[in-house]
Amino acid sequence: MNLTFRQIQVFQAVARALSYTQAAQSLHLSQPAVSMQIKQLEENIGLPLFEQLGKKIYLTDAGQEFSNYSNQISHLVREADEVMQQLKGVQMGRLAVSVASTANSFATRLLADFAKQHENITISLDVTNRRGLLDQLASNETDIVIMGKPPEGLDLAIEPFMDNPLVVIAPPDHPLAQLDRVPMDSLQKETFVVREQGSGTRIAMERFFAEKGLGLTTGMEMTSNEAIKQAVEAGLGLGIVSIHTLELELETNRLVVINAANFPILRHWYLVHREGKRLSPVSLAFRDFVLQSTNENPAKGSL
């Protein structure tokens, strides 16, 4: 047999519709073109596949048998196509990641390492606060999100992958920075530069003070961790930030972490996506990559 896949597709269309005219319409071909394809196929096989009784056409026994095989062939070709797309996906797909502002620096590093392993993929990274991330998840605008624990009751798949300790920062010459142990009471007397409403860090710090029954005096409100660090450095108050936002500031001694009782506030980072969302191969590969890289890192929380 010397068949083409096109002939099989035409045969299937005619076998489904049991009409050359309708098959021609569904294939966007002329009716003579369809008849011609079937004629060639029958000559090739050496048996009639259709018979005409009155105005109607029917499958012959050979046509029925051939129909079963052609369905299997089509199924396999579709399956092969899906697998090829999946393979193409990891090599050449697109990845849309959204991360909490606080996760920005380590998430960018993870993405850079992932991109080195998958050179032809296109990555889009959006950085926003917790509220923005929840909105993006609700409107299905993103594949994967890195954020603090989302609220219960949403249809989200969540996987914790790394610790996220929140610490109190101060300029090195601050009186509390000189103490070995700062009791919680002393923090009540301080003013804190805080993140904007809708920030996960802000929610966590407010909840922490409320749970401990302590008053929290807030000063300036800032929409980024960078701005908080600069404000603290400039002496505008203390700050509470994730350890993941601090690196150079500690190394260069521009800021210090205060040894406050009950700190750090222990949070975690989560990989989040909509439950039931069909993650693309690249997204799945990225998820595995994040879980693996953070698992392999013995000092979780210092990535």
CA neighbor of 90 nearest in space, from 283, 268, 302, 234: 283
Instruction: Examine residue 228 and tell whether it contacts ligand PGA (CB under 6 A).
Output: no
Quote the radius of gyration of the chain (alpha carbons, Å): 31
| Residues in 133-152 at the binding interface with ligand PGA, rule: CB under 6 A | 147-148
**Closest CB 92 distance from ligand PGA, rounded Å:** 31
Instruction: Examine residue 199 and tell whether it contacts ligand PGA (CB under 6 A).
Output: yes
**Closest CB 102 distance from ligand PGA, rounded Å:** 4
Count of residues binding ligand PGA (CB under 6 A)? 11
In whole angstroms, give the CA distance from residue 165 to residue 284. Answer: 27
Residue nearest to ligand PGA (CB): 200
Residue 244: Cβ-neighbour burial (10 angstroms; 0-12, 13-18, 19+): buried
Distance, CA of 174 to chain centre: 41
Nearest CB to ligand PGA, comparing residues 212 and 268 = 268
Nearest CB to ligand PGA, comparing residues 118 and 229 = 229
Q: Which stretch binds ligand PGA (CB under 6 A): 176-184, 194-202, 275-283, 287-295?
A: 194-202
Instruction: Examine residue 239 and tell whether it contacts ligand PGA (CB under 6 A).
Output: no
Instruction: Examine residue 280 and tell whether it contacts ligand PGA (CB under 6 A).
Output: no
CA neighbor of 232 nearest in space, from 201, 284, 264, 191: 191
In degrees, rounded to 5, the angle at the alpha carbon of residue 161 between the alpha carbons of residues 137 and 83 is: 65
Instruction: Examine residue 100 and tell whether it contacts ligand PGA (CB under 6 A).
Output: yes
Nearest CB to ligand PGA, comparing residues 151 and 215 = 151
Strand intervals (E) in the chain? 50-53, 56-59, 94-100, 122-128, 144-147, 156-170, 191-195, 217-222, 238-242, 256-257, 265-274
Q: Which stretch binds ligand PGA (CB under 6 A): 20-28, 52-60, 193-201, 258-266?
A: 193-201
Note the residues at the interface with ligand PGA (CB under 6 A): 100-102, 129-130, 147-148, 195, 199-201
